[in-house]
Copies of this chain bind each other. A is one copy, B any other.
Amino acid sequence: MTAMDGSLEMMIVMKEGAADAEVEHVLTRLREAGARGHISTGDVVTVIGVIGDREVIAGMPLEAFPGVDKVLPILRPYKLVSREFRSTDTVISIGGGKIGGGHFGLIAGPCSVESREQLLESARFVKEAGATMLRGGAFKPRTSPYAFQGMGVEALKILAEARAETGLPVVTELMDPRQLDDVVEYADVIQIGARNMQNFHLLSAVGEVARPVLLKRGLSATVDELLMAAEYIVKEGNADVILCERGIRTFETATRNTLDIAAIPIIKQRCHLPVIVDPSHATGRIDLIEPLSLAAVAAGADGLLIEAHPMPETALCDGGQSLNPRDFARIATRIHEMVTWVGKTLG
């Protein structure tokens, strides 16, 4: 039994037959960096446990040292967002409502704000069906440069008008740090899209403002990378981050992405922040919104982000995955019933 003073950060596994001098070299470099190594030598390989300051050690290219086979991290790389840092669920207040810790958020609305009429009508029907927040894009990330790119600041003003009329807090995406002030002025929640999950300057920027952030998981991001992205925001002082699972990219082509339903309980084990699910982007198919929404609530999600549009056939973006008012109302009713079944309350 070896008691070590300091936090055991990683284990360095040496190659079979590594020379003593190679082991010694690693130890020397650790000492120079203010860290320490504790050696365990078996018949076949030697393993070095490393104790010291995480940030210093993490920056050392230990796997490139002569004789090193691999480096196994012991501790997770995030702190502020971890369950170890905070054991109780974070509850975020938005407008008059809450999300997290038993409070469920149903966020709905169109992919993009297309006109004042379209957005106000959207706000009314999602409110009527029981949504607790309104979504709508002002700046749209589009794969094609030839597609509709959003109405910009004009859309932000329309969103604010819809909030004034319906009382629904407004969620909208920020793509560019140069538009942060505008978004903060008009929106209640700043969405960071999947393609910007590792746009680190954007993360830092929203970490400095007093607005909750809805952070979407990247298409090929691991759960731990999502939590690291959240750490970027929280580290700057903004602790109100909502995480959103929206499907990852796999070989399956029957759905646009593959909803990683297990990410919900995994994140809840590792992190204290609220987790919501976007079944619209996860599947790209309206006929899967209901089963995946119910599954998400059953698996422990704190909310849902659903695309709905007064007339999906005329939508300028994502019409194919947007629910019409009648279908949204029907599905919202089922969602409410499931929210009650799992013992949570809406808003």
| Cβ-neighbour of A2 out of B8, B40, B144 (below 8 A) | B40
A21 within 8 A of B: no
Q: Which residue of B lies closest to A193 (CB)?
A: B198
Contact with A262, one of B45, B63, B225, B255 (Cβ below 8 angstroms): B255
Residues in A208-266 with C-beta less than 8 Å from chain B: 218-220, 222-225, 228, 231-232, 235, 248-255, 258-266
How many Å lie between the Cα of A86 and that of B43 in the bound state?
Answer: 18
**Chain A at the B interface: SS class:** mixed
Contact A260 B262 (CB under 8 A): no
Bound CA–CA A153/B77 (angstroms): 28
Say which one of A91-99, A128-136, A181-189, A317-325 lies at the interface with B.
Answer: A317-325
**B297 in contact with A225 (CB, 8 Å):** no
Q: Report Cα–Cα, A75/B46, bound state, in Å.
A: 11
- Shortest A211–chain B CB gap in Å is 19
Q: Decide if A59 touches B253 in the complex (CB within 8 Å).
A: no
Cross-chain contact of A253 among B54, B61, B75, B222 (Cβ < 8 A) = B222
Q: Which of A101-109, A162-170, A283-291 lies at the binding interface?
A: A283-291
Contact status A254-B315, CB under 8 Å = no
Q: When chains A and B are docked, how far (Å) is the Cα of A129 from the Cα of B200?
A: 34
Which residue of the partner chain B has the closest CB to A235?
B145
Q: Is the CB of B39 within 8 A of A1?
A: yes
Given that A8-B44, A59-B316, A146-B54 are contacting pairs, would A282 and B262 also be in contact in the complex, using a CB cutoff of 8 Å? yes
| B198:A6 contact, CB within 8 angstroms | no
Interface flag for A310 (CB, 8 Å): no
Could you show 20 A-B contacts with beta carbons less than 8 Å apart? A8-B43, A8-B44, A29-B313, A59-B148, A60-B313, A144-B228, A149-B200, A177-B178, A178-B201, A195-B198, A195-B199, A222-B254, A248-B258, A249-B251, A254-B266, A258-B258, A258-B262, A259-B262, A262-B292, A295-B296
Instruction: Please report A residues at the B interface, Cβ cutoff 8 Å.
Output: 1-9, 11, 13, 16, 29, 38-45, 47, 49, 51, 54-55, 58-65, 72, 74-75, 77, 84, 141-149, 175-178, 195-196, 198-201, 204, 218-220, 222-225, 228, 231-232, 235, 248-255, 258-266, 269, 282-283, 286-288, 291-292, 294-300, 312-313, 315-322, 338, 341
List 20 additional contacts besides A72-B72, A295-B295; criterion CB under 8 Å: A1-B39, A4-B40, A4-B42, A9-B42, A29-B313, A47-B49, A59-B316, A145-B231, A146-B235, A178-B201, A223-B254, A248-B251, A254-B262, A262-B282, A262-B288, A262-B292, A264-B291, A265-B292, A294-B299, A295-B299
